[in-house]
Structure 1
Amino acid sequence: MTFPTAARLPLLLALLALLPAAQLGAATRAGLDVVHEVRNRIAAGDCGAAVERLKSGLKWGYPEVVLLAGSMYEHGICVKASWDTALTFYVQAHEGGAPEAAERIAAGFADPARGPDAAAALWWNLRGRAGAGAEACAVSPQAATDPDRFVEELRTWHPSKLAICNYLVGVISTISAEMRYPGHAEVLGLGGEVSLRFLPGVPRIDLKMGGSAVYVPYGVVKGDSLPSRPLAPLAPLTGSFEHSMHALVNYALRRYPQPAGIPVDAQAGVQFLFKRE
């Protein structure tokens, strides 16, 4: 069994904590219960029990559990890290109805540690909820549904455009794949809209909550470090969401090196609507 280092564990647990979606229906409650049990055993440092519970949950084919298995193998949490194994689980989760699995696949293929494979990253990005994220990276409707046409169209792009779009997809997909409203929001009946604005030329990520007209910076990269900043409350009772988002945004910005040639005023945006069903 393997376990992440003490430095990485808080972030990885924060990402895993975002897995159970408050808006999922009762049909997946059993799967979410398994995810909760596995996560608690990981937090307690009991990798053996976590893996055993994961295996028993996988037998039922719950997409939430399959998605969790992919995340554990991708990040090496209590198992030996393996992108190939993670990819198998992510594809299975996507086919089982977990749309965020496509975003995790896109983020993984965009990662410089794995190439990157920009064509695969952009293809899977189109299968996720965030879509292209930027008009400059759009392909024709015909190419968007035909793998062969998709690859041929990308071959006409300048390498710098492909690198920039891979960067956009990587950052946005990393965040989109983990977007979950915190559990207490379900209990309190909270919901609303979260708008994400990515300024890749800075680079910086801003968030806007609900009906607010103001974007709040959640991360700015300068060199190899992200300066710490105090949390600015965006709405009542969303503290855990804000803390999770800070960790997630910082992770996404550090994960992908910024390519040259991005205009400072370039933007990409995604909106997420959280509602209680």
Structure 2
Amino acid sequence: MKRIVFASLCFAICTSVHAGRVVRLWPYNKHTDSIEQMIAEGRCVPAVEALKAGLAAKKPEVMLLAGTMYDEGLCVKADWDRAAAFYMRAQDSGQRFALERLIAGYARPGRDNGMALYWVAQFPAHLGLPQECIPVADPLKDPDGFASAIDKMPPATFQSCVYTAGVVAQIFSEASYPTLALEWNVTGKIQMVFDPAANTIDWKADTLNVPDTLPSGLRNGADDMVQNPRAVKNSLVNYMKGKGDFALKRFARPSTWGLDRTFRLKREMTFTIE
């Protein structure tokens, strides 16, 4: 599906992007944490009421959460058009993760996949996709030329680009600090090497800072993970591997591959606590 609907794009783009990503310990946010807790407890009525209040107050983080709720059908009926509108409002407000969630959302099967590349093209260095995935025509200055370039893209190339964008955007759209790493102040840099043609992702720790005093290794029922020193040391890599495995399951690799099979998409994630 290559359809591109430009009429739905009514919000400005104002977020700067970087090749790497710094994941920090962000402070408690009363506007979203309370809503997320209600959702987790199945208290949808108060969750939706709190959501409406946050949106009325034009809280960017609530806009992002609203997009997620409509995207995934959490306490509301799933509605991608509404989700995308909230994501765009969050993007316009400079909310982190909004761009990735737009790309990942549009890359899903049955949606306007061309819009995924529309957003990628506005920040071509962000995800690191092959040049074949980025039309020369500027999507904002020459929308007709961009739409024409997408329409002329070979189907296998288009599908491979959408798949690659979807996987990478999905990974980064939800990455935060894993709980176990936070509890033990584990920091470091994690390297990702994505081989889209092979549908595989390799993860490894480039640098890792682990506290001198780790758990004793004693197993204690429900606290097994906390008591396991190996789990603490591997907490960052294992966390990102889980995100990668989920993304690979959500986006099916096209049966006909349309990009250079030797291409590897490399990214580095820095986990630091400030």
Instruction: State the TM-score, normalizing by the size of structure 2.
Output: 0.71
CA deviation profile, 1:53-85 (whole Å, cap 9, x unmatched): 222222222222110110011110011111111
Give 1:272's aligned residue: 269
CA deviation profile, 1:71-124 (whole Å, cap 9, x unmatched): 01111001111111111110000001014211111111111132xx33210121
From 170, 176, 180, the equivalent of 1:180 is 176
> Is 1:249 the equivalent of 2:236?
no
Give 2:17's aligned residue: none
Q: Are residues 243 and 265 of structure 1, via their aligned partners in 2, closer, same or farther at CA, if it must alter by over 3 Å?
A: same
> Is 1:170 the equivalent of 2:166?
yes
Q: Are residues 193 and 80 of structure 1, via their aligned partners in 2, closer, same or farther at CA, if it must alter by over 3 Å?
A: same
CA deviation profile, 1:225-257 (whole Å, cap 9, x unmatched): xxxxxxx98884663x55653443232112222
Determine helix, strand or coil for the equivalent of 1:206. strand
CA deviation profile, 1:157-186 (whole Å, cap 9, x unmatched): 222111110110111111111122236756
From 171, 174, 196, the equivalent of 1:200 is 196
Identity across matched positions, percent: 32
Which amino acid in the other structure matches residue 57 of structure 1?
A: G
Q: Are residues 93 and 125 of structure 1, via their aligned partners in 2, closer, same or farther at CA, if it must alter by over 3 Å?
A: same
CA deviation profile, 1:38-65 (whole Å, cap 9, x unmatched): 1111111211122222222222222221
> Is 1:122 the equivalent of 2:138?
no
Determine helix, strand or coil for the equivalent of 1:81. coil
CA deviation profile, 1:10-65 (whole Å, cap 9, x unmatched): xxxxxxxxxxx6455x6xx5xx2221111111111211122222222222222221
Q: How many residues align?
A: 230
Q: Are residues 201 and 139 of structure 1, via their aligned partners in 2, closer, same or farther at CA, if it must alter by over 3 Å?
A: closer
Question: How much has 1:259 moved relative to structure 2?
Answer: 0.8
Cα distance between partner residues in 2 of 1:151 and 1:259: 22
* 8 Å Cα contact 1:110-1:169 kept in structure 2: yes
| RMSD of Structure 2 on Structure 1 (CA) | 3.1
Q: Are residues 194 and 129 of structure 1, via their aligned partners in 2, closer, same or farther at CA, if it must alter by over 3 Å?
A: farther
* 8 Å Cα contact 1:22-1:183 kept in structure 2: no
* 8 Å Cα contact 2:67-2:82 kept in structure 1: yes
Give 1:260's aligned residue: 255
Cα distance between partner residues in 2 of 1:175 and 1:45: 26
From 132, 139, 145, the equivalent of 1:149 is 145
Cα distance between partner residues in 2 of 1:110 and 1:137: 17
Instruction: State the TM-score, normalizing by the size of structure 1.
Output: 0.70
Cα distance between partner residues in 2 of 1:151 and 1:233: 52
> Is 1:43 the equivalent of 2:40?
yes
Give 1:12's aligned residue: none
Determine helix, strand or coil for the equivalent of 1:134. coil
Greater C-alpha radius of gyration: 2
CA deviation profile, 1:245-276 (whole Å, cap 9, x unmatched): 34432321122221133365442222233444
Give 2:15's aligned residue: none
Which amino acid in the other structure matches residue 150 of structure 1?
A: F
Cα distance between partner residues in 2 of 1:65 and 1:242: 29
Moved more, 125-134 or 59-68: 125-134
Q: Are residues 165 and 197 of structure 1, via their aligned partners in 2, closer, same or farther at CA, if it must alter by over 3 Å?
A: same
Cα distance between partner residues in 2 of 1:126 and 1:196: 22
Q: Are residues 273 and 153 of structure 1, via their aligned partners in 2, closer, same or farther at CA, if it must alter by over 3 Å?
A: farther
Which amino acid in the other structure matches residue 171 of structure 1?
A: V
Which amino acid in the other structure matches residue 254 of structure 1?
A: K
CA deviation profile, 1:210-233 (whole Å, cap 9, x unmatched): 427xxxxxxxxxxxxxxxxxxx98
Q: Are residues 247 and 130 of structure 1, via their aligned partners in 2, closer, same or farther at CA, if it must alter by over 3 Å?
A: farther
From 105, 108, 111, the equivalent of 1:108 is 105
* 8 Å Cα contact 2:194-2:264 kept in structure 1: yes
* 8 Å Cα contact 1:171-1:253 kept in structure 2: yes
